[in-house]
Amino acid sequence: MQLATLPRFPLATTPTPLQRVETFELALGNDSPAIYIKRDDLTGLAFGGNKARKLEYLVADALAVGATALISEGAVQSNHARMTAAAAAVAGLRCALVLDARHGTDVKGNLLLDHLLGAEVHIVPDDAARAETMEAVAAGLRESGEMPYVIPTGGSVPLGAASYVAATLELLQQLNEVEEAPRRLYHATGSLGTQAGLVVGARAFSAPYAVYGVAVSHPREALIAKGISLANETAALLDLDAEFTADDVVIDGGFVGERYGVATEGGLEAIRLLARTEGILLDPVYSGKAMAALIDHIRSGDLSHADTVAFLHTGGGPSLFAFGTALL
């Protein structure tokens, strides 16, 4: 399969803007690098985010195999689950979501949107309980005559990751227009589909930047292993003759804080600073933690005025409404 002919069901509004954030740079001091934010929070599809791109290929595949329902899983505030529900609505498919209650069961933020979007929501106590319920829900749908299509956590399978190979082309064209060659591309990394796609894309199209994933969960070693295998599987899907190793999958594990889904001071500071300088909203689970890494690298002198960096804003805004005043 080749990227140009990979079936795609249109869901995202692209190209998303690439935006220089000079007021934010100024707030970070005289030694700030030039910072360009790739606004994948503006993909559209029920408030946007990186999953819109992945779902274009996943939904096309679901329709091609005759599926009548999408099933996916995540935490209660999963952005991926919310966008899967929206994608199913657009494609005329049923949607079932298996969500774990690690962070409570209050019907707000993404969980509220899941219901509004018409998804059938199954809540389980923790992430270990998800797999079994996924199977039971799939079996139930089959018994009632439906043909379910299962999308793993975060849509992080080669088809989903391929969307960030395509997004790399979009980003490189925009960088070419502004004549910039960033040193690093920062982004939050969770289930690794985005990073695997970006890494494959960077190699395939000789990007100037190093892809720099900022982890939002522990342990880092498992994330690197998954990133390597997913990058290799994605390259194979696209008939690219390339091999990826640990040198290609750079993951910073220093900004997770306690664990997945728990806000950090650095992440909250990043959210407030970008909001108050540029009116751009990050989120406490993913993009805020990634921006905390970039801010830290500027303050520590690892990046300087001579550098240019890019930051992929992966979305996540709806979870702000689940955190509420804890953000202030």
Ligand X SMILES: *Cc1c(COP(=O)(O)O)cnc(C)c1O
| Binding of ligand X by 49 (CB under 6 A) | yes
Query: Which residue in the set 109, 182, 315, 318 belongs to the binding site for ligand X (CB under 6 A)?
Result: 315
How many Å apart are CA 286 and CA 110, to the nearest integer?
14
The 207-246 contact track toward ligand X, x by CB under 6 A, reads: ----------------------------------------
| Binding of ligand X by 43 (CB under 6 A) | no
CB of 110 to ligand X, least distance (A): 9
Tell me which DSSP letter residue 49 carries: B
Closest alpha carbon to 235 in 280, 201, 272, 194: 201
How many Å apart are CA 149 and CA 69, to the nearest integer?
6
The 95-134 contact track toward ligand X, x by CB under 6 A, reads: ----------------------------------------
Query: Which residue in the set 33, 109, 182, 193 belongs to the binding site for ligand X (CB under 6 A)?
Result: 193
CB of 27 to ligand X, least distance (A): 23
How many Å apart are CA 246 and CA 233, to the nearest integer?
15
16 or 287, CB closer to ligand X? 287
68 or 218, CB closer to ligand X? 218
Q: Which residues contact 245 (CB under 8 A, 6 or more apart)?
A: 228
How many Å apart are CA 161 and CA 129, to the nearest integer?
26
CB of 79 to ligand X, least distance (A): 3
Closest alpha carbon to 149 in 164, 162, 160: 160
CB of 314 to ligand X, least distance (A): 3
Query: Which residue in the set 21, 198, 283, 298 belongs to the binding site for ligand X (CB under 6 A)?
Result: 283
Q: Could you write out the DSSP letters of every residue in 255-285? A: T--SSTT---HHHHHHHHHHHHHH-----TT
CB of 177 to ligand X, least distance (A): 25
Count other Cβ atoms within 10 Å, centred on residue 107.
13
| Binding of ligand X by 314 (CB under 6 A) | yes
Query: Which residue in the set 16, 43, 191, 234 belongs to the binding site for ligand X (CB under 6 A)?
Result: 191
Across the beta sheet with 34-39, the strand order is 18-20, 34-39, 308-313, 184-189, 210-215, 250-252
State phi, psi for 100 to the nearest 5 degrees.
-100, 145
Closest alpha carbon to 256 in 228, 223, 303: 223
Question: Do the strands 94-100 and 69-75 form a parallel or antiparallel pair, or are they unpaired?
Answer: parallel
Query: Which residue in the set 52, 124, 162, 192 belongs to the binding site for ligand X (CB under 6 A)?
Result: 192
CB of 190 to ligand X, least distance (A): 3
49 or 148, CB closer to ligand X? 49
| Tokens of residue 142, six digits | 């089959």
The 151-190 contact track toward ligand X, x by CB under 6 A, reads: ---x-x-------------------------------xxx
* Residue 156 annotated as catalytic: no
| Binding of ligand X by 287 (CB under 6 A) | yes
The catalytic residues are 78
Binding site for ligand X (CB under 6 A): 49-50, 79-80, 154, 156, 188-195, 283, 286-287, 314-316
